Amino acid sequence: MMGVDKNRQWRLARRPKGMVTEADFTYHEGAVPEPADGHCLVRTLYVSFDPAMRAFLNEGPSYVPAQPVGEVMRAGAVGQIVDSRCAGFDAGSFVVGGFGWQDYAAVPGSAVMKVDARFPLPHYLSVLGGTGLTAYFGLLRVGEPKPGETVVVSGAAGATGSTVVQIARIKGCRTVGIAGGAAKCRWLTDELHVAGAIDYRANALTERLRELCPDGIHVYFDNVGGTVLEAAIRNMALHGRIVVCGMISVYNAEQPQPGPSNLFELVTRRVRMEGFLVGDYAAEFAEGRRELETWLDSGALKAYVDVQAGFENIPRTFLRLFTGRNVGKQVLKLADPPLQR
Amino acid sequence: MMGVDKNRQWRLARRPKGMVTEADFTYHEGAVPEPADGHCLVRTLYVSFDPAMRAFLNEGPSYVPAQPVGEVMRAGAVGQIVDSRCAGFDAGSFVVGGFGWQDYAAVPGSAVMKVDARFPLPHYLSVLGGTGLTAYFGLLRVGEPKPGETVVVSGAAGATGSTVVQIARIKGCRTVGIAGGAAKCRWLTDELHVAGAIDYRANALTERLRELCPDGIHVYFDNVGGTVLEAAIRNMALHGRIVVCGMISVYNAEQPQPGPSNLFELVTRRVRMEGFLVGDYAAEFAEGRRELETWLDSGALKAYVDVQAGFENIPRTFLRLFTGRNVGKQVLKLADPPLQR
Q: Which of B225, B263, B265 sits opposite A61 (nearest CB)?
A: B265
* ipTM rounded to 2 decimals: 0.90
Mutate which of B59, B207, B273 to disrupt the A interface (most A C-beta within 10 Å)?
Answer: B273
Q: Which of B312, B318, B311, B315 is nearest to B333 (CA)?
A: B311
Q: Which of A67, A65, A47, A58 is nearest to A20 (CA)?
A: A58
pLDDT at A1 (0 to 100): 43
Chain A CA closest to residue B255: A261
- pLDDT of chain A along its 341 residues, tens only? 445 589 999 999 999 999 999 999 999 999 999 999 999 999 999 999 999 899 899 987 677 889 999 999 999 999 999 999 999 999 999 999 999 999 999 999 999 999 999 999 999 999 999 999 999 999 999 999 999 999 999 999 999 999 999 999 999 999 999 999 999 999 999 999 999 999 999 879 999 999 999 999 999 999 999 999 999 999 999 999 999 999 888 888 888 889 999 999 999 999 999 999 999 999 999 999 999 999 999 999 999 999 999 999 999 999 999 999 999 999 999 999 888 65
* B69 and B14 Cβ atoms separated by less than 8 Å: yes
Chain A CA closest to residue B268: A63
Give the predicted TM-score (pTM) of the model.
Answer: 0.92
CB atoms within 10 A of CB B91: 15
Distance from CA of B273 to the nearest CA of A (A): 5
The sign of the torsion formed by the CA atoms of A17, A18, A22, A25 equals positive
Chain A CA closest to residue B253: A261
* A96 and A46 Cβ atoms separated by less than 8 Å: no
Report chain A residues whose CB lies below 8 A from the CB of B261: 256-259
pLDDT at A4 (0 to 100): 54
Q: Which of A241, A242, A237, A233 is nearest to A261 (CA)?
A: A233
Chain B CA closest to residue A274: B272
Mutate which of B263, B272, B277 to disrupt the A interface (most A C-beta within 10 Å)?
Answer: B263
Q: Which CATH number fits domain A6-125+304-333: 2.30.40.10, 3.40.50.970, 3.10.20.310, 3.90.180.10?
A: 3.90.180.10
**Phi (first) and psi of residue A333, to 5 degrees:** -90, 125
Q: Which of B263, B277, B280 sits opposite A259 (nearest CB)?
A: B263
Q: Is A222 helix (H, G, I), strand (E, B) or coil?
A: strand
Report chain B residues whose CB lies below 8 A from the CB of A154: none
CB contact under 8 A, B267 and A246: yes
CB contact under 8 A, A276 and B269: no
Q: Which of A246, A256, A266 sits opposite B244 (nearest CB)?
A: A266
**Phi (first) and psi of residue A224, to 5 degrees:** -120, -45
Tell me the average pLDDT across B203-209. Answer: 94
* B333 and B306 Cβ atoms separated by less than 8 Å: no
Mutate which of A248, A274, A276, A280 to disrupt the B interface (most B C-beta within 10 Å)?
Answer: A274
Q: Which of B62, B268, B270 sits opposite A62 (nearest CB)?
A: B268
pLDDT at B341 (0 to 100): 57
CB contact under 8 A, B280 and A260: no
Pairwise CA distance, residues B13 & B83, whole Å: 30
Q: Which CATH number fits domain B6-123+303-333: 1.20.120.530, 3.40.1160.10, 3.90.180.10, 3.40.50.920?
A: 3.90.180.10
Question: Chains A and B: how many Cβ contacts under 8 Å?
Answer: 114
Pairwise CA distance, residues A165 & A131, whole Å: 13
A130-279 homologous superfamily: NAD(P)-binding Rossmann-like Domain (3.40.50.720)
Please write down the HEC assignment for all residues of chain B: CCCCCEEEEEEECCCCCCCCCHHHEEEEEEECCCCCCCEEEEEEEEEEECCHHHHHCCCCCCCCCCCCCCCECCCCEEEEEEEECCCCCCCCCEEEECCCCECEEEEEHHHEEEECCCCCHHHHCCCCCHHHHHHHHHHHHHHCCCCCCEEEEECCCEHHHHHHHHHHHHCCCEEEEEECCHHHHHHHHHCCCCCEEEECCCCCHHHHHHHHCCCCEEEEEECCCHHHHHHHHHCEEEEEEEEECCCHHHHCCCCCCCECCCCCHHHHCCCEEEECCHHHHHHHHHHHHHHHHHHHHHCCCCCCEEEEECHHHHHHHHHHCCCCCCCEEEEEECCCCCCCC
Pairwise CA distance, residues A43 & A334, whole Å: 9
Q: Which of B225, B264, B269 sits opposite A263 (nearest CB)?
A: B225
Distance from CA of A55 to the nearest CA of B (A): 10
Report chain B residues whose CB lies below 8 A from the CB of A272: 272-275
pLDDT tens column, B103-159: 999 999 999 999 999 999 999 999 999 999 999 999 999 999 999 999 999 999 999
pLDDT above 60 for B3:
no
Distance from CA of A233 to the nearest CA of B (A): 12
pLDDT tens column, B237-260: 999 999 999 988 888 888 888 999
Domains of chain B by residue range? 6-123+303-333, 130-279
